[in-house]
Structure 1
Amino acid sequence: DVGGQDKIRNLWRHYYTGTQGLIFVIDSQDQERIDEAKQELHRILSDREMKDCLLLVFANKQDLPNALSPSEVTDRLGLDKMKDRSWYVYPSCATTGEGLYQGLNWLSQNVKSK
């Protein structure tokens, strides 16, 4: 778990070695920052250390009005263009825990099968 503040993003790459799965949490209601999130996600995934890692995206804050659906998050992040990586977008609500176990189950099952 690493924070998302601009000041510490340069430190993220120190955690990449040996990574089997990446969990990327999107604020589904913050449509103004989704392009920034897309850019950051693709920057992370372009690192050679992250070449083979699985990607789990939690489309968080699904309980709030105007939240992007998982399919909208998929489109906005450009995930459908990722043909060489296993990825999954799961709807979630961190405050209630809804969707967290299901997403983590997908990740653990797919890490085991690699």
Structure 2
Amino acid sequence: MPPGLERPGRLRAALRRRVLRAVAGGWLTLKCLSLLVFVGGFFSTIFSSLFGTREMRILILGLDGAGKTTILYRLQVGEVVTTIPTIGFNVETVTYKNLKFQVWDLGGQTSIRPYWRCYYSNTDAVIYVVDSCDRDRIGTSKSELVAMLEEEELKKAILVVFANKQDMEQAMTPTEMANALGLPALKDRKWQIFKTSATKGTGLDEAMEWLVEALKSRQ
């Protein structure tokens, strides 16, 4: 690689660190950060229209500790990577079945969830990750999901629910989780739930296969 050039992933990581330092230091307010995200998404859409290449935009959402970041990098590099709680977001390009996805993994902490809506524009699909063992917070997961699906910008987004951590003995079954989240009651929404284990890698291919076909059928 020529001197002075870095891999895109490293550049994105460096940019995230600088943005987060600016927020922490008070130089960049969360409102300004939200505006930057909106403007960035706007110009990304314009450039994609001009040059005829558009990556499918996917959000990975869910409560903290559900396994969102592990899933993101499982999909990208095919293996488990060491992660820390996401403060802000991770964004990577994932290629699956010759389709390119721009995947945004958003932090799930209580203080961060109100800012999820800043990222909803132009979203094609939402991967909603739920810790199958976290029975105490399944009600919170449902509340956040319901609020999210009511947003106008996500009216046409496909929903894929990952019932994650299925390798654990105390995990809820996908049917149990679907009922707890109120999925059967969803109207005018294309959705599906899959049993997954981010650490083992099980269920991810099946879920992505379904998502690819769902996106293709919508075009």
With normalisation by structure 1, the TM-score equals 0.97
Q: Which position in structure 1 is the counterpart of 2:152?
A: 48
1:24-83 CA distance string (max 9 Å, x none):
000001111000000001111100001111100000011111211010111000000012
Of 84, 99, 105, 2:203 maps to 99
Q: Percent same amino acid among aligned pairs?
A: 45
Give 3-state SS (helix, strand or coil) of 1:58's partner. Answer: strand
Output the amino acid matched with 1:21.
A
- The question of 1:28 aligning with 2:132 is answered yes
Greater than 4 Å deviation, 4+ residue runs: none
* Per-residue deviation, 1:112: 1.2
Partner of 1:3: 107
RMSD: 0.7
Match of 1:16 in 2: 120
Bigger Rg over Cα: 2
Letter in 1 for 2:179: D
- C-alpha deviation, 1:13, in angstroms: 0.7
Structure having greater relative contact order (Cα 8 Å, sep ≥ 6): 1
Is 1:64 matched up with 2:168? yes
Unaligned 5+ segments in structure 2 are 1-104
Q: TM-score when scaled to structure 2?
A: 0.51
Aligned residues: 114
Equivalent-residue separation in structure 1 for 2:177 and 2:158 (angstroms) = 17
* Residues 1:88 and 2:192 are matched in the alignment: yes
Aligned partner of residue 214 in structure 2, secondary structure? helix
Instruction: Encode CA deviations 1:67-111: one digit per residue, 9 max, x unaligned.
Output: 110101110000000121010000000101111111111111101
